Amino acid sequence: MDDGSAPRHAGGVQPAASDSPAGRDLADQVDELFRAVYSAFHRRDGTDRGLSGTSRATLQHLALTGPLSVGEASAHLGRAQSVTSEILAQLERNGLVERRHDEHDRRRTVVWLTDAGRDALRREQSVLDLELLTVALHGADDTVRDAVVAGMQALLDTAPRRKDLP
């Protein structure tokens, strides 16, 4: 039953919150604040963060799949086993991956990320300067820190699924 109090679009459909002036104003405020946060905290160390595209892709793949043999990594990455072996050897020399015995089959050797490899990948993926952000959050009280994290998580939890992302 319609009491006429809520505005409706043609066809009797209730407008989405994003169609209302208040929804657009709020979205504008969030956009403005996001741009300000990005400007204040974005990384300014350039695009070269120390890993080649191939190294980055290999570390990302290992992080997603877990430990793999060289042959499995080669198949997953779509590269010749000799090329994959060379990439992994370089990452191992740099301390980013290590070879270890498979927990389920001691005859089998797998490659896995080291702590340094996980840290390097984290730095590669970070768009914010974590040191600046740490200083700012340290300067806030617990209530503000909790509200920042809770608010960001709540916003992400309500985000519609994008069609352009897997």
Asked if residue 146 and residue 100 are part of one domain, the reply reads no
Contacts of 133 (CB under 8 A, 6+ apart): 41
Whether pLDDT at 23 is above 90 = no
> What spatial distance separates the first Cα and last Cα of the chain, rounded to whole Å?
40
Asked if residue 138 and residue 113 are part of one domain, the reply reads no
Band of pLDDT at residue 96, cut at 50, 70 and 90: very high
In a domain, 8, yes or no: no
How many domains does the chain divide into?
A: 2
Domain limits for position 70: 53-124
What is residue 127's three-state secondary structure? coil
Comparing 19-23, 68-72, 135-139, which segment has the lowest mean pLDDT? 19-23
Asked if residue 136 and residue 103 are part of one domain, the reply reads no
What average pLDDT does this structure show over 125-138? Answer: 89
More confident of the two residues 45 and 39: 39
Residue whose pair of structure tokens reads 């070269």 in the numeric block: 48
Q: Rounded CA gap, 83 and 88, in Å? A: 9
In a domain, 77, yes or no: yes
Asked if residue 72 and residue 99 are part of one domain, the reply reads yes
Write the DSSP symbol of residue 128. B
Band of pLDDT at residue 19, cut at 50, 70 and 90: low
pTM of the model: 0.58
